[in-house]
Chains A and B, each alone.
Chain A
Amino acid sequence: MAKKTVKAAFVAAVLGFAGSASAQTPTMPFEVHGNFQLDAQYYLKDSLIGAPEVPESILSNGFGNIVVSRDKFSAGIRYESYLNPMLGFDSRYKGSGITYRYATYTADELEVTLGNFYDQFGSGLIFRSYEERNLGIDNAMDGLRVKYNPHPGVYLKGVIGEQRFFFDKGPGIVRGVDGEVSLSEAIQSWAEHKTRITIGASAVSKYQKAEDPIYKIPNNVLAWSARTTINRGGWRVYGEYALKSNDPSLENASIAFPSGIYKNGYGAYFNTTYTKKGLGVSVSAKHIDNMSFRSDRSATGNVLSINYLPALTKQQTYRLATLYPYASQAKGEAAFQTELFYNFKKGSALGGTNGTYVSINYSKSANLDTTGTNNGLGYSTNVTDTWSNLFTDFAASRYFEEVSFEIQKKVNKDLKVILNYIYTVYDQNLTGEGKDTVTAHTAIAEFQYKINKTHSIRTELQHLYTLSDRGNWALGLVEYSVSPSWFFAFFDEYNYGNEDADKRIHFWNASMGYTRGANRVAVAYGKQRQGLLCVGGVCRNVPASNGFSIAITSSF
C-alpha cells in the first residue's frame, strides 16, 4: 500500500507541476512523449522440437514509457506488463506495474535525478546500470544521482540507490562516484594540442548485510577503477584498470568454499583504434579475474549486476552465425579481439566500378591459467591475476575462438552482394549445453536487389558445417519489401545434418509487417529453434517454440 501511495503522489506531483507551469506560461507548455512495445505469442505444443505445452496458450510482454519535459526539467514513468512472461524470460517477471519513474532537472552546471536512472562509469567494469528489454535485463538504479560540471571539461558524478529486481529491488545498496577530466577542454593552453587526453577515475561500494552463521563475510565491498583516453590524429588509445575487494558470493563459491572465496577481483580493458579514410583497425584486450559484482551475493544469471564485462567477440547478426555465441565469464577470462575494415576504392584493381568493402575479425577468449590449482573452482584462487599473466592465461586454454571474413560488393546500381565466412570454435561446457568443443564453418551469401523505386528483394543462403553437436544446418531466406510500409519474409532453418534422423527438422517461419512513421506491426508464424539470443555480449536462452506471434512498436 505504502508503495502505491508513493507512486500516486509522485505522478500527481509531476502532473500538478505540469498543469501549473503551463498555466503560467501558456506559450511554452510541457511536452509529452513516449513509446510502446508489445510482443505476444500463441503457443502450440510441439514435442518434436521440444516446445512445451503452455497452459496459458498466450503469453505477452509489453511496456510503455511516458516522458513529460520542459526546458531543464523532465519526468517519466514506464509501465510494464508480463501476463504471463513469454517463454525464455525469467518467470519472476510475472505481473504488471510501474517499474520506472524519475524526475530530473538541470540548474546550470548541476543535474539532479530522483528515482530511477541508468548510467555507467567508463566502460562499465565496475558500474553500469542498463536495460536490454529484449533480453529481459534491467538493473536500473532507484535512488539519487547528481552530475556536476564545475569547470569546462570536468565532469563529476555521484550515484546512490538500490537495483531493480523484477518488480522489486535487490537487497544491497550501491554507492558510487566518478570523475572525468578532458585535459584539452579543462586547460586552456592544451586546447590547441594535437594530442587530446581524457582521464577518469571511479569508486563503487556495495553494502549488503552479511548473515552467514559460520564465515565472516564482508558487509561492504569496494571497487575502484582508473581510465584514460588518448587521441592523436587517426589514433585513439583507451585503457581501464579496475580492482575490487574480496566479495565471497554464490558465483565464486564451490564445494570446497561454499560461501565463496576471499580473493580480490581485478579487471583490465584496453582498446586502440587507427582510422583514416577507407581504413579502420581496432585491437582490444581484456583480462578479468573474479569480477562478478552484484548487489545480492546470492544472485546469479542476468540479475542485480552492478558492473558490465563486455564480450570481445563480433556481434554476429546472421541467424546461423549466432548458433554458438559467447558471453563474458565474470569468474575469469583473458580475451583478445582485432577487427579490420577496409574499402577498396572505386576504380582500383579490387574496387572495380563501385568499390569493394571488406572486414576481417579475429577474437579469442580463454580461461585463466589454472595450472597447479585443484580447488574445484576451475581457476586460480591463490593470487589475484595481474596484467603480467595475460599472455600465459591467453595461451593456456580456449573458451571461444572465431575468425570471420566479409566482402560487400555493389555489382551495379540495383544489385549488392555480401559474402561471409566464419570459423568458430566454441566450448559448450560454458553453457552446460553439451560436453564437446564445437568447431564450425559457416558460409553465408546475401543478395539485395532493387526491383524498382519502391520494391526490393533480399535473399540469404547460409550453411553451417560441423562434425559435432547437432551437425550441419542450412538456411534460406527471402524478404520482399515495398517502401515505405510493407515487408513479407520467409525463412527455413534446416538441421539436415542431425545424427538423429527424427531431429532433421525444418524450423520455418513466415512473417509480414506494416510500418507507418514510428508505428510498426509485425506478425509471424512458425517454429523457432532453441538457442541463445545475445545482445551486447549478454545472452538469454530462448526455448524452442511453435506458434503465432505479434509485435507492435510505437513512438509518439
Chain B
Amino acid sequence: MKKLLTALTLVVAAFSAQAQSVPDVKIKNMEGATVSTNTIANDGKPMIISFWATWCKPCIKELETINEVYADWREQTGVKLVIVSIDDARTTSSVAPFLNAKGWEYESYLDVNSDFRRAMNVNMVPHTFLLNGKREVLDQHTSFAPGDEDKLFEKVKAAAGK
C-alpha cells in the first residue's frame, strides 16, 4: 500500500503543474436536454463556472451579489457566468422556479448525479472556477464572503487582458 501511494504521489507531482481543462461530462440544461460540458464556452473570452445548490445559503449569497454587478462585468470583460446546480432528485425540481423568481440571467445547468462535480473535484459548494478563453482553469475558490466578488473580478479583468 505504501509503495502504491508513493508512486501515486510522484505521478501527481509530475503532472500537477499543468493547467486544468474542463472534463467532458454529460449534464442537463434547463429544458431537460442532455448536453456535453465540452459545449459550454464563451467565444474565447473568460468564463466562470460556479457549483451551487438551492439549499446552499452562501451559494445564493454569492450569485445574488454577482447578479448586481453582472451587467457591468459583462460589458467590461465579456465574461460569462455559468451555474451548475448539484441539487439531487429531491430538490432539483425547485431549481427552475427558484431561478426564475430570482430573475438571474445566468446560463444554468443541472448536475443531478454529481458527475460534473466529481470530475471537477468539488468537495463542497459554493465552489467557483475561473477559466480563460481556452477553457483552462486559472483559479478556483471555495466558500463565499461579501467582498470575494471584487477579487474575482480583478482576476476576470486580468484574464480578459483589461
Contact = CB atoms under 8 A, between A and B. Distances in A.
A123 B93 CA distance: 10
B15 A120 contact: no
Given A66-B12, A275-B100, A536-B91, A11 B4 contact: yes
Given A238-B93, A453-B150, A280 B101 contact: yes
B121 A34 contact: yes
A182 B103 contact: no
A481 B15 contact: no
A169 interface: no
A124 B89 contact: yes
B147 interface: yes
Given A198-B32, A343-B101, A481-B145, A315 B88 contact: no
A313 to B, nearest CB: 9
B145 A482 contact: yes
B44 interface: no
B114 A341 contact: no
Nearest to A313: B90
Contacts of A340: 97
A282 interface: yes
B7 A31 contact: no
Interface residues of A, number: 91
A484 B123 contact: no
A284 interface: yes
Contacts of A461: none
Contacts of B119: 67, 69, 74
B20 to A, nearest CB: 6
Interface in B89-147: 89-91, 93-94, 96-103, 112-115, 118-119, 121-124, 127, 139-143, 145-147
A537 B18 CA distance: 39
Interface in A21-70: 29-35, 37, 65-69
A456 B147 contact: yes
Contacts of A66: 8, 12
Interface string A235-247: 0101000000000
A310 B99 CA distance: 21
A30 B57 contact: no
Interface of A: 4, 7-8, 11, 15, 18, 29-35, 37, 65-69, 72, 74, 77, 79, 97, 106, 118-120, 123-124, 128, 130-131, 155, 182, 185, 196, 198, 229, 231, 234, 236, 238, 271, 273-282, 284, 308, 310-312, 315, 317, 339-343, 357, 359, 448, 450, 453-456, 481-484, 487, 513, 515, 517-520, 536-537, 553-556
11 contacts: A118-B118, A120-B113, A274-B97, A275-B99, A275-B100, A280-B97, A312-B90, A483-B145, A484-B151, A518-B142, A536-B88
Given A34-B121, A69-B119, A553-B124, 6 more contacts: A182-B32, A182-B34, A273-B93, A317-B57, A484-B141, A536-B91
